[in-house]
A and B are shown apart, each in its own frame.
Chain A
Amino acid sequence: AQSVAQPEDQVNVAEGNPLTVKCTYSVSGNPYLFWYVQYPNRGLQFLLKYITGDNLVKGSYGFEAEFNKSQTSFHLKKPSALVSDSALYFCAVRDRYNFNKFYFGSGTKLNVKP
């Protein structure tokens, strides 16, 4: 079965500091991994994805993610957090056998304090 886990319900970071939001996955074969962000009462916005190639993926709003096959992780990172980054972040994996299915993590709430 395909799945992702976000081990932290909440991450707190001070503005200007680097941030990391963790995601681990469990898939058979090569994973197709995604990060989304959600602001209150809004839909999800796509940030970035890993399909193949370079393990460091760059995305929108200065975010990047590092794919680590040996640790089965796909952590979201940003060198310098902004207060406006405060939101709910979701990691997702696409099912290799039914590409209509995405499996989402439970979400991590990022709080960036001024």
Chain B
Amino acid sequence: DGGITQSPKYLFRKEGQNVTLSCEQNLNHDAMYWYRQDPGQGLRLIYYSQIVNDFQKGDIAEGYSVSREKKESFPLTVTSAQKNPTAFYLCAVGWAGGYTGELFFGEGSRLTVL
């Protein structure tokens, strides 16, 4: 079944712990993105990657890290340095190199810090 799979759907973390959110896609898209969603603030870009082994910081990268070791996967680590990590995290994919294409989103992961 084609699509974007994010896991886990819900995650609880104690303060001071790092957590990793998974994003896997089989749509064969080159570009992958991580967004953070907070109520009333829309979506904010954390990191993006156009090709394997390369990624760029978005607007709110502090306290987050990513890797892109294969085309299908773009995991996001929320580190203990992220001061306010409770949020809904969305992974998206799209075609690299084109202005006209839309993004396709996964179902999201909700992180709650206890």
Residues of A within 8 A of B (CB): 9, 32, 34, 36, 41-46, 49, 51, 90, 94, 96, 99-102, 104-107
Kindly state the interface size class of chain B when it binds its partner: 20 to 34
Q: Which of B13-21, B64-72, B78-86, B101-109 contacts A (4 or more CB under 8 A)?
A: B101-109
Interfacial residues of chain B within 6-64, with CB under 8 A of chain A in the complex: 6, 31, 33, 40-43, 45, 48, 50, 56, 58
Q: Least Cβ distance of A34 to chain B in Å?
A: 6
CA distance A101 to B57 in the complex (A): 11
Q: Please determine whether A90 and B43 come into contact, CB atoms closer than 8 angstroms.
A: yes
User: Given A32-B100, A100-B48, A42–B42 Cβ distance below 8 Å?
Assistant: no
Which residues of A are found within 8 Å of B45, using beta-carbon distances?
101-102
Contact of A43 among B42, B97, B105 (CB under 8 A): B105
CA distance A43 to B104 in the complex (A): 9
CA distance A66 to B41 in the complex (A): 24
Q: Please determine whether A42 and B107 come into contact, CB atoms closer than 8 angstroms.
A: yes
Which residues of A are found within 8 Å of B6, using beta-carbon distances?
43
Majority-rule SS of A interface residues: loop
A-B residue pair count with CB separations less than 8 angstroms: 56
Which residues of B are found within 8 Å of A46, using beta-carbon distances?
102-104
Does B90 have its Cβ within 8 Å of any Cβ on chain A?
yes
Q: Please determine whether A41 and B108 come into contact, CB atoms closer than 8 angstroms.
A: yes
CA distance A44 to B105 in the complex (A): 6
Q: Please determine whether A99 and B42 come into contact, CB atoms closer than 8 angstroms.
A: no
17 A-B pairs (CB sep. < 8 Å): A34-B102, A41-B108, A42-B107, A42-B108, A43-B6, A43-B106, A43-B107, A44-B90, A46-B102, A46-B103, A49-B102, A99-B97, A100-B31, A100-B33, A102-B43, A102-B45, A104-B43
CA distance A44 to B50 in the complex (A): 21
Which residues of A are found within 8 Å of B98, using beta-carbon distances?
99
CA distance A106 to B39 in the complex (A): 8
Closest to A44 in B: B105
Q: Please determine whether B99 and A96 come into contact, CB atoms closer than 8 angstroms.
A: yes
